Each structure stands twice: as structure tokens, then as C-alpha cells.
Structure 1
Amino acid sequence: MASAGKKIERPVMDNPFLNIKVNPDGSVKRDPETRNPANPDPNVAGAVLSKDLPLDANKKTWLRLYIPRQVEIPSSSSKLPVIIYYHGGGFVFCNADSAVYDVFCKGLVEKVGVMVISLDYRLAPEHRLPAAYEDAMDGLYWIKSVKDEWLSQYADLSNCFLCGTSAGGNLAYHAGLMAAAAAMKLRPVKINGLILHHPYFSGTKRTESEENLKNDPLLPLYSIDQMFDLSLPEGADHDHEYCNPLVNGGSKNIDLMKAMGWRVLVTGCFDDPLMDAGLECAKMLEGKGMQTVKFFSDGYHGMEVFDASMSGPLYDFIKDFVQCRSNE
């Protein structure tokens, strides 16, 4: 874990978390955002190729697949590790093709040396949790069964990691709990670990970082609370298991993860109100005997997504984490 140093300035940007407007019908007003199209054409410039494929037409869910442009068709023993990625946005905002998340996924492919599959899941409050978790499981079964040439040629399905940023980190954790219980059914997809990037957890008892950073300009405490109020099941408080992973000492499915040798990487930044909740989750996992690695550094919530120039150290750490698993 890195030590705290000078304060890193946040970039100026539109921030949907500061002014959440709920419509009379219970939906949320979402302002237009920059969204990047897929780039499947090898003749178009770029280090990474991507393409979109449907997941469930009824749910309007879909996936964006990424591979390195220069990748050669590997042998079965040298295929790419797979990162299944879940975007952030408090379960209320953003999509898999949101520009900041598209750029972040391209960086994972280029700098970590993996294939990425990014899920566009249903958003709250129109679709409250566990809808997003169920979409994540749909995605894993899709990966198991689909006959896509990129998957068959490049993906090492025996070496998969669930990864997400902010709400996506929460999603990766809960999808991991569900996937651990369904491990036999998911074969040949084999998950080897979780990468929780600035995970979105909270609880009724305030952490020190929430109190100290309650007026954070990017993610103030009231917006953390409001997005959980909009995404949790109706009537649930913030000690619901979907919000607080420490409830009842943690899920029993953690024992299944441990038995299968999963590892967990928890990352965060010192100027993030969610930092302590991420650390408490990591501590809980360690207490249950999970192989847990922490990477905390100077910066603010979602820093490496919002400012690509700050992402290098994180990509390096994720690469070491994935390669460690690959070499065991």
C-alpha cells in the first residue's frame, strides 16, 4: 500500500452524482454523456479492437468485447487471460460504452495484456438490485455457451477475473459470490479472482473517510446515500448485504471462493470517501483466509478512470496480480 502524499487535483467535469433528479414515475433524469462506438475494423487506427454483441434482448443488455490489435492467434496454452469488467455510476448512471469506461477498458487490454468483456447491465431505480447481479450471471453463462470467434481464438476461459470500478466493484464482488456457488455449471469458465477498483460499499455506521470527506466535490456523502436508496431493494437500509459486505460477518460463499483458490485485489485512494469501506471489506476477506492484496495510493474516487494519465501504476499492479495467478 502506497503512502499518502500531496493532494491530487480532480479534473473539471460534468458530475451527475451532485444533482440527481428523480422523475415523478420513479425513474432518474440522465443527461447525455459522451459515448464511444466500438471499433471492430482492423483498418481503423487504434491499439485495441472492440465489438458489441447482444446479451438479452428482453432486458436490453449487451457486451463489449476488446482484444489487442496486434494479437496473433495463440495456441491453446498461450491464450489471453479474460477480465470481465463492470462499469461504475452508482448503479444509476453510465454504460459500457461511456467514454471514460471505454478508454479504461482499452487501457486494460493494452497495458495488462488481457481480453476484456465489458457488461452493459440494467440500471436502477428502474431495475433495482439484484437486477445488475443477475445480468452479470447472464453474462458469465453467455461466455460459457456463445460461439464467438474472438472468444474461441483468444480467450483463456480457464483464467478469468471479475473486475469493476465503484458500483462495478460492488457488482464484481456480488457476482463473484453468485459465481462461486455456480462454479460447476459455469465450466469451462473458471474464475481465479476479483479486482475491486474503488468498490462502492457503505453502511448505516459512518466510516472515518465518509465523515472526513462528506462534502467531497466528486462523490459527496449525500450522493452515496441517495444512489444506494435508488438501487437497493425497496425498503432496505444501508446494512443490506448488497450495500454492506460486512453484514453477518460476510457471505458464506466466501468459503467457496477460498476453497477454489480465488485471490482478491482491492484498490482505492486516500482522498476517497469510500476508502475505509473498501479497506474494511479487504480486512474481512483476509480474516476469512482469502488471499487478499491491497493497492491504495494518493488520489480521489475513480481517479484512474476519470484521468487516464493517472492509470499507469494501477495497470501495472493489475498486471502483476493477473500474471501471478496465471503462473501458479
Structure 2
Amino acid sequence: MNSCSKAILKPSKDVVPLSTWILISKLKVEYMLTRGADGSFNRNLAEFHDRKASASLAPHDGVASMDVTIDRSSGLWSRIFLPAIAYAQEEQENRDDKVPIIFYFHGGSYAHSSANTALYDMVCRQLCRTCRAVVISVNYRRAPEHRCPAAYRDGLAALRWLRLQAARHVAATWLPPGADLSRCFLAGDSSGGNMVHHVGVAAATARHELWPVRVVGHVLLMPMFGGVERTASERRLDGQYFVTVKDRDYYWKLFLPEGADRDHPACNVFGPGSAAERVLGEIPVPKSLVVVAGLDLTQDWQLRYARGMERSGKSVEVLVLEDTPVGFFIFPNTEQYYRVMDKIRGFVRDEEEPMDSSTWRDSSLARQERE
């Protein structure tokens, strides 16, 4: 039976160290410097501040990586992370241990960062190592040079590319033994979390043409959703923890089609006049894990998204991380970061994660809605 469950992780101590606040503040300043007073965006300055990491086939901490071109005409490429342990002789002999595949869409409000950004290189390496999965980090086209739906099309193109690899028997040259194309996941944070939904819907609609590639789960980390309405969390947290409502409005204006407002379905999935619930009810969108940061001003939109998916008959699990700021997921120096990684591993590997009653408490979305 499809359901929507919610858990709230209450830290037993101050899990966000001063270093994390400083790093997020630095990132915020770098983002602000790229924005012109006239609403323009300085791509050259954004690239100047974006520290890059190189791919390496020599395993580092058990993970090798390489860059591949997906579509020369659009310039689309991906960085692939491979778990070195999956190539070991004992792993090859254990045919029952399948290796899942995770397509990762980086954050950056659709304007910042890349698949080779050092911070996201680190995140994908950790995902690869923790989940013992192949991770394909998609370097989708960014706004404002490429507005919606270019990023969504790139995400779907990456899935089609993997299908062609399998059809041409090319995949065997780089995929580890046991790689399971029928067990693919879409994951992403911020704008990448928004992409997970939209690419996932497109993949579910085109599922027959994508076979044997099959998406079986979505992981949305602090997904970037919004709308014209100002919600309670936006009013309460505006400018309190790095992000302002004005910041979000700016990036939506860069990304959405010219003339569109924030009730466009790319931003407000279940907005006014939306047919999303009916459409979603007709296609097999897989289970979702939605992670919400308790100090993120857009949390109300993320919870509304989860409720909309539940009304559409989809299985959704929500994890709310209290006292946690937006951006924490790209800095591996908090208890929350590793707890989320473990949660993703359990989601991908179908493992049950034990809950510590001293730090977890259950709550229903219905109760959240009443509050």
C-alpha cells in the first residue's frame, strides 16, 4: 500500500559546528558576488569561485572516477564514480550482490556548480563508497544561459545514454560486474532535488523506451520548490540562515521560461490549476525519500510536495533534520551529513535502519498539516 511516513531527527548535541557555518557563509558571499544589480548573472565570476576536482581512474579511498561525453551537440557530459571493491575477485564470484546505479543531479539553484565541482565530487565519492553503487553525476546545462526545461532534458538524456550503452554492449567495458541497470535511482540536492522529480516523471512516462534501465527510487535532498504564495516558513526564516526569499526569487527568475511566474509547474508542482495529481496517478513513479532541513525557509514547499505525492498514491518517506541549515549536505563535518548518507544507503540497498528512540520521534504529515 502506498504511504507517506515522516520522521524528525532531533540532534542530541550541537551537530552543526562553527566551521560549517563559516563554509556556508563563504559560499553565500560567492553566490552574491555573481549577481548584478540589474538582475544579471556573471558566469565568469561564478566559474572563478568554483573550485574543481579532476577525475581519476586510480582509486582514491576505494572510488575511481572518469568523465564521459553523453551528447556532443549540447555539450552534455557526466562524471562516473565506480566502487573499486565491486571489481574484486570475491565480488565477481558473488553474483547475488547487485550493484545499484545512482544518477546524481548537483545543487546550485540551477546556476552554480558542476559535476566536477570539488564539493560535489566529494559528495558523489561518499555516495559511491557508502552505497557501494555506481554514481553518474550529470553535468546538466545551467541557467540563465539554458532555461527550463533544458536541465530536465539533460537528465533524461543521461538515462537514455545508459540504455544505449547496454544495447551496444559498451557498458561492460566500464560497469563493474553485477551492475544492475534495473535498479537505478535518481538523487539530487536543492535544484538537483527538483530535477529528481521532473526527470523521474519523464522517465516513468518513457519507461518502455528506457528498458532495461529502470528507475526504482527518488532521493530529494532539500529540494528546490516554491510558488507565488509566501508560506509560513518563508516568512519566519527569511534571511535568518543564509538564504532570503529574494535569493530564491532571483534564481527562479533565471531558470523559469521567460514571463513565467513561480506557480509554473517546474517550481510549484501541485500549484493552482495543476494536473499533476491526475497525471502522476496514471504513471508508475517509484518510492521517494524527501530530506528537509529544519532551518530551510522553503521547507513548507517541500512538505507540500510530499503531501501532493501521497495524494497521487505514491510512497513517500520524509526525514526532517531539526536545527539544520540549508547547504549542510555538501560539507562532510556534521552528524547530520553522515546520518543522511546512511539513510540513503538503506533506501538504495533496501536495508532497515534502526531508529534510536532517544533521538528520533515519529510524526504524521496530517499532524504537520494541522499545525
Task: Provide the TM-score with structure 2 as the length reference.
Answer: 0.81
In the alignment, is residue 37 of structure 1 matched against residue 54 of structure 2?
yes
Matched, 1:319 2:345: yes
One-letter amino acid matched to 1:69? A
Name stretches of at least 5 consecutive residues in structure 1 with no aligned partner: none
Counterpart mapping for 1:186-225 below 5 A: 186-225=210-249
- Give 1:50's aligned residue: 65
Contact residue 36 and residue 98 of structure 1 kept, 8 A: yes
Aligned letter for 1:294?
V
Q: Does 1:99 align with 2:105?
A: no
| Match runs of 1:1-328 below 5 Å | 1-4=7-10, 8=16, 10-12=21-23, 13-15=26-28, 16-22=30-36, 28-29=42-43, 30=46, 31-42=48-59, 45-71=60-86, 72=88, 74=92, 77-146=96-165, 147-148=170-171, 149-151=173-175, 153-247=177-271, 248=274, 250-257=276-283, 259=284, 262-298=286-322, 299-310=324-335, 311-324=337-350
Cα distance in 1 between the residues matched to 2:300 and 2:247: 17
Q: Is the 8 A contact 1:18 1:220 kept in 2?
A: no
Once the two structures are TM-superposed, the CA of residue 33 in structure 1 deviates from its matched residue by 1.3
Residue identity matched to 2:260: A
Letter of the structure 2 residue corresponding to residue 14 of structure 1: L
Q: Larger RCO: Structure 1 or Structure 2 (Cα < 8 Å, ≥ 6 residues apart)?
A: 2
CA change 1:224–1:17 in 2 (3 A) is: farther
CA distance, structure 2, for counterparts of residue 25 and residue 322 of structure 1:
40
Give the letter for the 2:289 counterpart: L
What is the alpha-carbon distance in structure 1 between the residues aligned to residue 318 and residue 177 of structure 2? 33
Gaps of 5+ in 2: 1-6, 353-371
State whether residues 111 and 143 of structure 2, in contact with CA within 8 Å, keep that contact through their aligned partners in structure 1: yes
**Structure 1: which amino acid aligns with 2:51?**
T
Larger Rg: 2
Deviates more, 1:73-82 or 1:46-55: 73-82
8 A Cα contact 2:226 2:268, kept in partner = yes
Q: Distance in 1 between matches of 2:143 and 2:269?
A: 19
SS of the counterpart of 1:282? helix
CA distance in 1, matches of 2:10, 2:350: 26
Percent identity reads 30
3-state SS in 1 of match to 2:294: strand
* Bigger mean CA offset, 206-215 vs 150-159: 150-159
RMSD of equivalent CA atoms: 2.3
CA distance in 1, matches of 2:140, 2:198: 14
